[in-house]
Amino acid sequence: MLIPAEVWTVAKAEQGNAVLIRPVGSDMAVPIFIGTAETQSILIGLGNVKMPRPLTHDLLISVLEHLEATVNRIEITELKEGTFYGRLVLERDSNEISIDSRPSDCIAIAVRVKCPIYIDEEVVDEAGISINVINQNQENITEAKEIQEVSTKSQLEILKELLDKAVAEENYEEAARLRDKIRELEEKI
C-alpha cells in the first residue's frame, strides 16, 4: 500500500550520495543511493534555484506543461535486488498516465512541482532505517548535522558555479539573485 512521504534530506555517505525519503509522521527513512548529477538536480529543486537554461528535469516539466499535462504525484513502488523502482503519475484530459521512472528522476521533478510523494509500505519495511537512533545518540546527532552541512555545502558549490557562469555571461540580475541565495545558505552553516 502506498503511503504519503517527503524528502527528509540529501546526504553524502560512504557508498555515495543518498536521498532519504521519510513516510509522513514516521520514525523511518528510506535511503536511496543516487549519482552526483541526480543529487545536484534534487538539491537545485529543493533550493528553488532558477537556472539560466533548463536542466533535463526542468525541460521535462516544460514539455508536460505545453502538452497540458500535470504531475499528480510520484510513487516509489518497489525494491528488487537492490534497485528501487518508481512511477511518475501524470494527468491529461482527466486521464491518469503512469510512467516507469527512476526514483531519483521522480524526486527531482517532485521537488520542483511540489507534488505529493508516495512510497510503498513494503519498501519502507525492507529498506527503512530508524531516525530515532539519531535522537537517542549524541554521536548520531553530530553526524546528522554533518549530513545537513554536506547537503548545504553541495548546494553552495552548485550555486557558486552558477554564480561564476552568470557573471561570465554578464547576467548580473541572475548573479545578484544567486549571490543572495549563497549568503542565505552560508548563514546556516
**pLDDT tens digits along 127-179:** 988 876 534 433 443 444 444 554 555 677 777 878 888 788 888 887 788 78
Reference 105, options 161, 61, 149; nearest CA is 61
- Low-confidence residues of the chain, pLDDT below 50? 134-147, 150
Average confidence score pLDDT of the chain? 84
Dist CA 118 CA 62 (whole Å): 23
Contact 105, 57 (CB under 8 A): yes
Q: Helices (DSSP H) in the chain: which residue ranges?
A: 36-46, 56-66, 103-113, 121-127, 132-136, 138-168, 172-188
Q: For the whole model, what pTM was predicted?
A: 0.71
The class that CATH gives domain 2-133 is alpha beta
pLDDT of residue 135: 40
Dist CA 157 CA 151 (whole Å): 10
Please list, in sequence order, all residues whose beta carbon lies within 8 angstroms of the beta carbon of residue 61, skipping any fewer than 6 positions away. Answer: 71, 109, 112, 113
pLDDT of residue 54: 86
Dist CA 55 CA 126 (whole Å): 33
pLDDT of residue 53: 87
Helix axes 103-113, 56-66, angle to 10 degrees: 60
CA-based Rg of the chain, rounded to a whole angstrom? 18
pLDDT of residue 138: 35
Contact 24, 76 (CB under 8 A): no
